[in-house]
Amino acid sequence: MTVSLAHDQQTSTAALPIGMFDSGMGGLTVLHECLVQLPGEHFAYVGDTARFPYGEKSREQLELYSRQITAFLEAVPCKLIVVACYSATSAALPALQREFRTPIIGVVMPGARAAVATSRYRKIGVLATEATVASGAYPRAIGGLDSGAEVIQQACPGLVDFIEAGDVASQALADAVSGFTEPLKARRPDVVIMGCTHYPLIRPMLQRFLGRDVTLINPAAEIAREVEAALVRQELERPGDVMGSYRFYTTGDVDRFRETGARFLQMPLTRVRALPLERLGGLVAP
């Protein structure tokens, strides 16, 4: 009887969605890889667009926002949560993993592992937001895997604003990308991590400015594999022969999220719900 109840409870938990959150649309690049890798899973995604962008926020703000959204996703409930934002992962992941019962995965370590495994000359570049660079999360993660690797970081303030607005091809964007990649390219890394979930959306432009000899790392595929491995370890995976569902929550404008998100994800976002900041118990960011 006890064994049967435990099995039923595990089966019920396996049917729950995977939670995921980001400051806006960038985390959809992670969701895309998870949908490809884990077609049978359900997903619940929160885009905190009312407080976008995260990359310019303080550690204290990022910890607060991350706690609020994680608490919401745990209450949905979800069987696993992915912090699909590098700034939030860098600032808040250890605290979230201590405070919440739901297993939580961040986005820094999977990219660090992929970069270390790919780099031939142990010179690894990182393009990221100001908050991620300031946190030192990537040098710590890479140093823990290869203490002799050189890590060259480049903050890209304002770059996510272009991408979040749907601009992936303007001259102003190209000028900004040129300015950010030039000092990094001068240090001659052979591998560069796209350390923000928005950046894969302009991968062709980044590759052109960095040159063909640089390998760009998109951690999203590595994150999807880590999610799958975590579900398998806990025996919480759903069978992949039946398509899972996905729903979205946004703290900002629902119609804008639906329209822009569909363009980013290249599939319809039919289930988008408003998530007022008051429901999260938070304050509107300055």
Read off the pLDDT of residues 252-268 as tens digits, 9 standing for 90 and up: 999 999 999 998 898 99
DSSP code of residue 158? T
Q: Name the pTM for this structure.
A: 0.90
Residue bearing the bigger pLDDT, 76 or 284: 76
Tell me which residue of 228, 192, 2 sits closest to 103, measured CA to CA: 228
Task: Give the model's pLDDT for residue 6.
Answer: 47
- Full DSSP string of 136-153: THHHHHHHHH-TT-EEEE
Separation CA 123–CA 193 (nearest Å): 11
Boundaries of every domain in the chain:
2-106+222-280, 109-218
Task: Give the model's pLDDT for residue 11.
Answer: 66
Class of domain 109-218: alpha beta
pLDDT category at 286 given cuts 50, 70, 90 is very low
Question: Would you please indicate which residues are annotated as catalytic (active-site) residues?
Answer: 85, 196
Return the amino acid letter for 72.
Answer: F
Residue bearing the bigger pLDDT, 264 or 285: 264
Task: Give the model's pLDDT for residue 283.
Answer: 41
Q: Comparing 2-106+222-280 with 109-218, is the CATH topology the same?
A: yes
> Is 2-106+222-280 a domain of CATH 3.40.190.10?
no
The SS3 call for residue 274 is: strand
Q: Which residues of 43-70 are buried (b: 16+ CB within 10 A; e: fewer)?
A: bbbbbbbbbbbbbbbeeebbbbbbbbbb
Is the backbone peptide bond immediately before 286 cis, with ω within 30 degrees of 0? no
